[in-house]
Structure 1
Amino acid sequence: MQMRLMVDGDGSPVKEEVIRLGQRFQLPVIIITSVDHYTTKEYPPFVRLVYVDKGADRADYQIVKEILPGDILITQDYGLASLVLPKQARVFHHSGKEYLKETIDTLLMQRYLSAETRRAGKRTKGPKAFTQQDREQFYEIVSQILQKTE
């Protein structure tokens, strides 16, 4: 079975980079997103858009259902990453950082503690703005990973 590139599309800033990677390495790309993000934009034939109903975690459920061993998922959602890793898929943040079974529990705990801090009325730092340099770094990192798997 051929590896596929999957994107948790609701907030991903690297959809275009993933499409470029799919084209370069001749891999199918699947973008799973809410109907809230419906587009009439034309995509190449190797790109499939999957729309899910509105609602919390609907895209996540679809991704968990569709992902196969060997696929690569791009998401910023630690919870989703933790559900996909046991399915022998590789999971990357849009920064290019790979989520690993060995570190996912720590990330989930940090997310929990940040949520507790916010619930207590304290502020936490949000993510820094995503730059063109960040996009290029993502592309290079995932490109190197894909070259190794050829």
Structure 2
Amino acid sequence: MKILVDADACPVVDLTVREANKRQIPIILITDTSHVLNRTDAQIITVEKGSDSADFKLVNLVEKNDLVVTQDYGLAAMVLAKGGRALNQNGMIYSEQNMDTLLFTRHVAKKVRMAGGRTKGPHKRTKEQDEDFLRTLQKILEGNI
């Protein structure tokens, strides 16, 4: 098992790296050239800036039973199709049971925006969201989920 992080604007990179290193699990942070990551505690892969370039690199690297941290529903769907596991930044585990609803919601929101409408952005990140993420991550890494 390895952990791959869709690190473009990911709010839980530090938490994920800390937990991976504590358990000596390989961790790869994938970003594009519009984000600069300088770390010695994780492998960093930087790809050219482009539509979904980091996502496609991540999908090419993921293997069965790997864990991916991402807030991108489309990427999570591709990870699940390859036999990986996916977790969002708030501790929600992506699964076959919730993926259709998540993708449909994303589709509806995109249609609203394309028609000139507005959708609400994310709320300011809370300490509780970090705690929920960390709790779920730890359970996954301990084999309890």
TM-score under structure 2 length normalisation: 0.94
Distance 2:10 2:16 in 1: 10
1:42 aligns with 2:39: yes
Q: 1:25 aligns with which of 19, 23, 26?
A: 23
Q: 1:51 aligns with which of 43, 46, 49?
A: 46
Bigger Cα displacement from structure 2, 97-106 vs 126-135: 126-135
Aligned length: 144
- The share of aligned pairs that are identical, in percent, is 36
Structure-2 residue corresponding to 1:128 = 123
Residue-by-residue CA offset, 1:69-126 (whole Å, 9 max, x unaligned): 0100000000111111011100011001011012211111110101111222222111
Structure-2 residue corresponding to 1:118 = 113
Amino acid paired to 1:12: C
Distance 1:37 1:119 in 2: 27
- The SS at the match of 1:7 is strand
Superposed displacement of residue 26, structure 1: 1.4
Q: Residues 64 and 42 (structure 1 numbering): CA distance in 2 closer, same or farther, change over 3 Å?
A: closer
- The SS at the match of 1:31 is strand
Distance 2:13 2:93 in 1: 17
Superposed displacement of residue 127, structure 1: 1.3
Amino acid paired to 1:5: I
- Cα RMSD of the aligned pairs, angstroms, is 1.2
Q: Structure 2 unaligned segments of length 5 or more: list them.
A: none
Distance 2:39 2:105 in 1: 39
Distance 1:58 1:100 in 2: 23
- The SS at the match of 2:125 is coil
Superposed displacement of residue 11, structure 1: 1.5
Bigger Cα displacement from structure 2, 99-108 vs 89-98: 99-108
Q: Structure 1 unaligned segments of length 5 or more: list them.
A: none
